[in-house]
Amino acid sequence: MTPQQHIRQVCKFERDHINQCCWDGLPPKPTELKRFVGEWTAAYDQTPSPELEKHFREHPRELTPERFRFLEQFVLAQMMTYEATPEENLEYLPPKSVAGDFHGWFFWNFRMEETVYREWDYLRGVKEGWIPKLERGVTVEQQTGTDCAQLEEEALACTTEVVDPFPKIPHWKGIPCIAPSPAEVASLFLLKAFACVGVVAVVLFVLYALRYGFAKAWAELRACCGRGGSLEMARRKEFTRINDEPSSYDTNNPINVAA
How many angstroms separate the CA atoms of 94 and 13, rounded?
10
What is the model's pLDDT at position 256? 44
pLDDT higher for 216 or 84? Answer: 84
Residue pair 151/79 in contact (Cβ under 8 Å)? The answer is: no
> Confidence band (pLDDT; 50, 70, 90) for 232?
low
What is the model's pLDDT at position 75? 98
> Confidence band (pLDDT; 50, 70, 90) for 246?
low
How many angstroms separate the CA atoms of 224 and 60, rounded?
62
Model confidence at 8: pLDDT above 80: yes
> Confidence band (pLDDT; 50, 70, 90) for 205?
confident
Nearest to 176 by CA among 157, 191, 194, 190: 157
> Confidence band (pLDDT; 50, 70, 90) for 255?
very low
Query: For residue 107, what is the enclosing H or E element?
Result: strand 102-107
What is the model's pLDDT at position 245? 52
What is the model's pLDDT at position 206? 82
> Confidence band (pLDDT; 50, 70, 90) for 155?
very high
Average pLDDT over residues 218-237: 60
Omega cis (within 30) before 94: no
Sign of torsion, CA 77 80 84 88?
A: negative
> Confidence band (pLDDT; 50, 70, 90) for 252?
low
What is the model's pLDDT at position 257? 42
Taken as a whole, the chain contains a residue count of 259
Q: Helices 214-225 & 182-212, crossing angle to 10 degrees?
A: 130
82-127: per-residue pLDDT in tens?
A: 999 999 999 999 888 899 989 999 998 999 988 899 999 999 999 9
pLDDT higher for 147 or 34? Answer: 147
Model confidence at 239: pLDDT above 90: no
Residue pair 152/78 in contact (Cβ under 8 Å)? The answer is: no
Model confidence at 259: pLDDT above 60: no
Residues 6+ apart with CB under 8 A from 59: none
23-58: per-residue pLDDT in tens?
A: 998 888 888 888 999 889 999 998 889 999 999 989
Other C-beta atoms closer than 10 Å to the C-beta of 87 total 9
How many angstroms separate the CA atoms of 60 and 114, rounded?
12
Per the prediction, the chain carries an average pLDDT of: 84
How many angstroms separate the CA atoms of 61 and 181, rounded?
28
Residue pair 48/39 in contact (Cβ under 8 Å)? The answer is: no
How many angstroms separate the CA atoms of 89 and 14, rounded?
11
Q: φ, ψ for residue 57 (rounded to 5)?
A: -70, -40
What is the model's pLDDT at position 179? 66
How many angstroms separate the CA atoms of 57 and 51, rounded?
10
> Confidence band (pLDDT; 50, 70, 90) for 132?
very high
Model confidence at 79: pLDDT above 90: yes
What is the model's pLDDT at position 69? 96
To the nearest whole percent, how much of the chain has pLDDT over 70?
85
Average pLDDT over residues 157-176: 87
